Amino acid sequence: MSENRLPLEDLRVIELGTLIAGPFTGRLLADFGAEVIKVEPPGKADPMRSWGKTKDGVGLWWPIQSRNKKSITLNLREEAGQEVLRELVKEADIIIENFRPGTMEKWNLSYETLSEINPGLIMVRTSGFGQTGPYKDRAGFGSVGEAIGGLRNVTGFPDRPPSRIGVSIGDTLTALFASIGCLVAVHEREQSGKGQVVDTALYESVFSIMESIIPDYLLASYVRERMGNILPGVAPSNIYFTKDKTYIVIGANADGVFRRLAEAMEQPELADDPRFSTHHARGENMKLLDSLIEEWTKSLPAKEILKILEEKGVPSGLMYTAKEILEDPHYKEREMIINVDHPQLGDFPMPGVVPKLSRTPGKVKEPGAEIMGKHNAEIYGELLGYSEERLEELANAKII
């Protein structure tokens, strides 16, 4: 493969999902070159087009979520639209859908039906609770997955109700697992020639990152609860107030790192103090240790503290907002803020591609299509060979 090509350019993906989890999967694949064809019902836009803040009537989330994708319209509730999708499936490698289980079957678009047309087809299915089990028919959003997966109960402070993380973490975690599953299935297909279903559930994706929560409960009779900014038994690992009335985070819980922190504080004796000399002892005396550290951080401005800690090799950082991210030279050097030309807004800033590949890195070529069905002529006319008369007929019937 030429190193000028993107690594997934040989894959064609049909994205049927809406909102976040399914489309974020499509975005990740498109970042590395997959041809992702985003499907929306005619006259009924994906809500993501208008979610979040707007500028001159343009949603600021959509151009990121749907970057690099082609946009077509298709009514899957009608038999004629279902037939069009079946023709598209002949030319596709992957379908992404995040409808409630049973919806694709109701539309006569089950995996069994579609795999008869294309035995190598991979169907990535994302739902609240998966395609099987007693909860499979329940509606499920990311917030519900975060709750039932165990994340919400451990997020926040102990004297307050469970809290939401500030982004749609349940959806994006599920998209990451869906992308992994999709690429695993693509790799396996190289040996077997057969496709398969990738079944991703919101609650399972959240639960899978919950560390040792189950053996903690079953084997140690310990139920994890909300702990605010600390990690139970792990110290120091917290946020600390500074002289210029801001917060910094310091993580120095390993023995060697804690010794370097004590030196940075000009209190090297703390590293040999029996109350703090071992991981277990620091965990037992967390409140006292945090108070000693904050006495020091309150005596200096944040940037001065961070400079000292950097010189000593102690992990630390400011609480970044968008402003600090944009001003940070490391973000710039790593191309984590990129600008893409938007037809209405001009230079449009968005996150760069993650992860970084050394030979064949991903690329953002264009923002999400601003017009629904922008690529109808290309996909239906060029890929499927529909005549102008056929396209007009489908449009008049509100199929596209």
**Helix-strand-coil split of the chain, %, nearest 5:** 40, 15, 45
Cα angle 18, 77, 11; round to 5: 50
Q: Which residues contact 384 (CB under 8 A, 6 or more apart)?
A: 84, 87, 88, 91
List of residues 6+ apart from 93 with CB closer than 8 A: 11, 12, 13, 120, 121, 122, 186
Q: Within a 13 Å sphere around the CA of 319, how many CA atoms are in the beta-carbon half?
A: 11
The residues near 91 (Cβ < 8 Å, ≥ 6 apart) are: 12, 383, 384
Distance between CA 288 and CA 128 in Å, rounded?
43
Task: Please give the C-alpha separations between residue 92 and each of 15, 88, 371, in angstroms, as whole numbers.
Answer: 11, 6, 23
- Stated as kind and residue range, the H or E segment containing 240 is strand 237-241
CA distance 34 to 24: 13
Q: Give the Cα separation of 44 and 327 in Å (integer).
A: 39
Considering only CA atoms, which of 97, 35, 39 is closest in space to residue 73? 39
> What are 382's two structure tokens?
């060029």
Burial letters for 99-119: b for 16+ Cβ neighbours within 10 Å, e otherwise? bebeebeebebebeebbeebe
Rounded distance between C-alpha atoms, residue 214 and residue 212, angstroms: 6
Q: How far apart are CA 14 and CA 27, in angstroms?
A: 12
- Nearby residues of 111 by Cβ (< 8 Å), 6 or more positions away: 104, 121, 123, 125, 197
* DSSP tag of 19: S
- 78 class by beta-carbon count within 10 Å (0-12 exposed, 13-18 middle, 19+ buried): middle
Q: Choosing from 31, 46, 93, 171, which is the catalytic residue? A: 171
| Token digits of residue 145 | 């997955």
Q: Is 199 a catalytic residue?
A: no
Q: Which residues are catalytic?
A: 171
